[in-house]
Amino acid sequence: MGLQVIALLFLIGAIVLGFTKKMNVGVVCLGLALILGKLGGMGAGDIYKGFPYKLFATLLGTMLFFSLLQQNGTLEKISKRLIGLCGKNTFLVPIIVYLVSFGLSAAGPGAISVQSVTVIFAVSLAIQMKVSPILMGIMAILGAVGGTASPIALTGIIVGDLLTEMGIEGIVNQIFIGVSISNLICAIVMYIILGGYKFRAVETGESGKDKDPFNRSQLISLVALLVMVVLVVGFSYDVGLICFTLSLVLMLTGAANEKTALKMIPWSVLILIAGVNVLMNITQKLGGIDLLASILATFMSSRTAAPIMGVTGGIMSWFSSANGVVFPTLIPTVPEIAQQVGGASIVQMVTAIVCSATVAGISPLSTGGSLIMASYAQESGCDEKEQQKMFGTLFALSAGVVAIVFVLGIVGVLGLIG
pLDDT on residue 37: 93
pLDDT on residue 294: 65
pLDDT on residue 211: 61
Buried b / exposed e along 263-296 (16+ C-beta atoms within 10 A)? ebbbebbbbbbbbbbbbbbbbbbbbbbbbbbeee
Residues with Cβ within 8 Å of 399's Cβ and at least 6 positions away in sequence, in order, are 314
Q: Which amino acid is at 313?
A: G
Which among 238, 234, 236 is positioned nearest to 57, based on CA atoms? Answer: 238
Give the predicted TM-score (pTM) of the model. Answer: 0.72
What is the four-CA torsion angle of 112, 114, 120, 121, rounded to 10 degrees?
-170
Neighbour count for residue 183 (Cβ, 10 Å): 27
Rounded CA gap, 264 and 267, in Å?
9
pLDDT on residue 204: 45
Low-confidence ranges of the chain (pLDDT < 70): 1, 19, 79-80, 82-87, 108-110, 201-211, 289, 292-298, 319-320, 324-325, 342, 415-418
Could you report the per-residue pLDDT of 265-293, keeping only the tens digit for each?
778 777 877 888 788 889 888 988 677 65
pLDDT on residue 417: 64
Cβ atoms 140, 118 nearer than 8 A = yes
Domain boundaries, the chain: 2-49+89-200+266-417
